[in-house]
Amino acid sequence: MSGIKIIKDKCVGCGLCIKACPLEAIVLVDKVAVIDLDKCNLCSGCVGSCKFNAIHIFRQSKPRDDISNYKGIWVFAEARDEVISSVVFELLGKARKLAAELDTYVGAVLLGCGVSGSLQELIHRGADKVFFIDSPALKHYIAENYTKSIVKLVNKYKPEIILAGATTTGRSLVSRIAVNLHTGLTADCTGLDIDKEKKILIQTRPAFGGNIMAQIISPNFRPQMATVRHKVMPEAEAELSRKGEIIKETFDEDEEDKRIKFLDFIKETISTVNLAEADIIVSGGRGLGEGSNFKIIEELASSLGAAVGSSRAAVDSGWIPYSHQVGQTGRTVCPKMYVACGISGQIQHLVGMQSSKTIIAINKDPDAPIFKVADYGIVGDLFKIVPLLTKKLKETLRR
Amino acid sequence: MKVIVCIKQVPDTVEVKIDPETNTLIREGVSSIINPFDMYAIEEAVKLKEKFGLETIVLTMGPPQAGSALREALSLGMDKAIHLCDRAFAGSDTWVTSFILAKAIEKINNFDLVICGKQASDGDTAQVGPGIAAHLNLPQATYVRRIDTVHFDTTPKVMVVERLLEEGYELLELSLPAVITVVKEINEPRLPSLRGKMKARGADIPLWTNRDLDMEEEKIGLSGSPTQVIKIFTPPHKEGGKVFQGDPVDTVDKLMEEIKDLIH
């Protein structure tokens, strides 16, 4: 049985843990913290808040006996229409670094039908081995069939780490794989490191929309699995001289899950750049006043080669499709540059974009909360500022 | 015919503030709400009930105070609520949470559809929905933005859904029972009715403990969770940025000067 306890001799009654507890499960009794076990869910938020190491969480869990047999770092090579997603190259870059620390190989897993053209590209970008299954059943991403294929590969080749992009496909797929393999999975990581002593993966991820960060490990289970946020890690450069091994496996067609059928894919974005993959995003909000004014946002975006985003207010007003919404009930993005135009910066919007590398805000209200997270801001009329900025950028970039 | 909705009670993030002195999250006194995405899951279930006469059951795993989230779901039109509540569940990660929810869903039995919100606003993992599907060995569709058609009169029962992707959406046909997770676009949640509130207040919500679900204790809770949180910290706070004010041409020039190295 696991549990939590306060080491009374170490507790000074400072109350920091009370502030850290999301469930109001801690109270001070005679200047010592006391945890109400009916309320506590062992989230461990208080443990780090204690400056005196007075809170101890204990767990009973033992390693599975065979974890030392697991070797290699795998990357799920997500692809659509034979094009490998750019997050895969970011993962391969990271995987190479991790592999050097663990003295092991980098593997890429490519599933599909007639996608063999991408095999060499994965090797050039850092894979030592490419595990490849070519089957009509894998032509479209179907979580059930992809899961079966990858579970089979893992059971045969036993990688110690598997990374996938934190995309709609990656997150849905590896959740299923982790359950079937009975192993740990950490979502949407922004940092991956190796604990040099224990040789395990330390996964860092934001929670509460980036308001807090958590470090997570899966020491007793293999493979250690993580999805990784787009645009956080640099892409591996292609080296055309790199050589690697291609390992072909098959998908047994009797195993195809017939309970789910792919019918069609419909492309639907007003900009040509995908929000998740964009280096730059230009977003518009309530300050635009009406839907037709989104064209100044689109023009600014096109001058930068950027994707178009929006606040919830703009989507709710019917100015732009939901797929463009950034924020708590939309997408979380992390581009190199985020330009917020006419967006006041409610917390629900901020949690979806505050991890962006550089934030630029244009708003007429100098007290708008967006300026608190912005690196650069202009207070003024966006209908004047945005077209001026577009013009300047076009001159500079000659687009 | 039955539809089961899984919900989570989360802190209301609007009220999350950072303590300027210790730079930690102040969560004291923060009110709790139903995870925003789960509101769409509840609404979709209630809409299916109105259209097809399904029975709707709402399920949560959480400490005793999570019962208020279930009452709210009842006030929004769900028929029944079940609260999974046991000390042994505390500290469960997404693997174990989806395992426990799947066990409860199995016990409810005879269901056609499980609906979850796409992710919870506190953990943001989006792993529990597909995790439930995997534990139950059911087909899944995540990020569903629309249920196009449902046929409860065919064998097997089928539904066609639109699944939101980065660049558009795909159409999937699922044999039921299945698990779907939904995004905001799918509907507009209603407000609770007065009648709903009255009904919810008096409703009897059964508590299911591990005695009801009969799982080995070492496989659940903190001990059973493959992942372990080793550290929680606040990210370094961003220093105040440069804000320009005044003549538009002038401010744009100043901004261009600052960002010229970032664009090329």
- Which tens digits make up the pLDDT trace of A60-109? 666 666 788 999 999 999 998 888 999 999 999 999 999 999 999 999 99
> What share of chain B in percent tops pLDDT 90?
75
Its domain, for residue B175, covers 2-226
Residue B151's pLDDT band, with cuts at 50, 70 and 90, is very high
| Residue B257 domain-assigned (yes or no) | no
Q: How many CB atoms lie within 10 A of CB A321?
A: 15
pLDDT at A179 over 90: yes
B-proximal residues of A, 185-214, CB under 8 Å: 185-188, 202, 206-214
| pLDDT per position as a tens digit, B21-47 | 555 555 556 788 999 999 999 999 999
| pLDDT per position as a tens digit, B49-98 | 999 999 999 999 999 989 999 999 999 999 999 999 999 999 899 999 99
Q: Give the mutation candidate from B28, B84, B93, B165 for the A interface (greatest A CB count, under 10 A).
A: B165
Closest CA of chain A from B68, distance in Å:
14
pLDDT of residue A238: 94
pLDDT of residue A85: 92
pLDDT at A130 over 90: yes
pLDDT of residue B232: 80
pLDDT of residue A269: 63
Q: Give the mutation candidate from B34, B103, B121, B230 for the A interface (greatest A CB count, under 10 A).
A: B230
User: Which of A70-79, A191-200, A349-358, B7-16 is predicted with the least confidence, judged by mean pLDDT?
Assistant: B7-16
Q: Domain total for chain B? A: 1
Contact yes or no for A38 and B63 at CB 8 A: yes
Average of per-residue pLDDT across B139-160: 95
- What's the rounded Cα separation, in Å, for the pair B57 and A64? 37
A-proximal residues of B, 74-103, CB under 8 Å: 87-88, 90-91, 93-95, 98-99
pTM for this prediction? 0.88
| Residue B68 domain-assigned (yes or no) | yes
| CA neighbor of A348 nearest in space, from A151, A207, A209 | A209
| Residue B103 domain-assigned (yes or no) | yes
| Residue B250 domain-assigned (yes or no) | no
Average of per-residue pLDDT across A18-47: 84
Contact residues, chain A, for B223 at CB < 8 Å: 1-2, 59-61
- Domains belonging to chain A, first-starting first, are 3-58 (3.30.70.20), 67-255 (3.40.50.620), 280-397 (3.40.50.1220)
| pLDDT per position as a tens digit, A132-168 | 999 999 999 999 999 999 999 999 999 999 999 999 9
Closest CA of chain A from B47, distance in Å:
20
Contact yes or no for A373 and B13 at CB 8 A: no
Identify the sign of the CA torsion B51, B56, B62, B68: positive
pLDDT of residue A61: 65
> What share of chain A in percent tops pLDDT 90?
66
pLDDT at B226 over 90: yes
Contact yes or no for A265 and B168 at CB 8 A: yes
Please report, for the domain that includes residue B66, its CATH number.
Answer: 3.40.50.620
Average of per-residue pLDDT across A337-352: 91
Instruction: Name residue B56's amino acid.
Output: T
| Residue B48 domain-assigned (yes or no) | yes
pLDDT of residue A212: 77
| Residue B66 domain-assigned (yes or no) | yes
Q: Show Cβ contacts of residue A187 under 8 Å, excluding neighbours closer than 6 positions.
A: A166, A171, A205, A226, A227, B94, B123, B124, B125, B126, B127
| Residue B182 domain-assigned (yes or no) | yes
Residue B237's pLDDT band, with cuts at 50, 70 and 90, is low
pLDDT of residue B136: 97
Written as six digits, the tokens of B165 are 């992707």
Burial class (CB in 10 A: 0-12, 13-18, 19+), A324: buried
| pLDDT per position as a tens digit, A231-241 | 888 899 999 99
pLDDT at A304 over 60: yes
| Residue B12 domain-assigned (yes or no) | yes
pLDDT of residue A337: 95
Burial class (CB in 10 A: 0-12, 13-18, 19+), A111: buried
Average of per-residue pLDDT across A314-342: 90
- Chain B residue with minimum CA distance to A348: B14
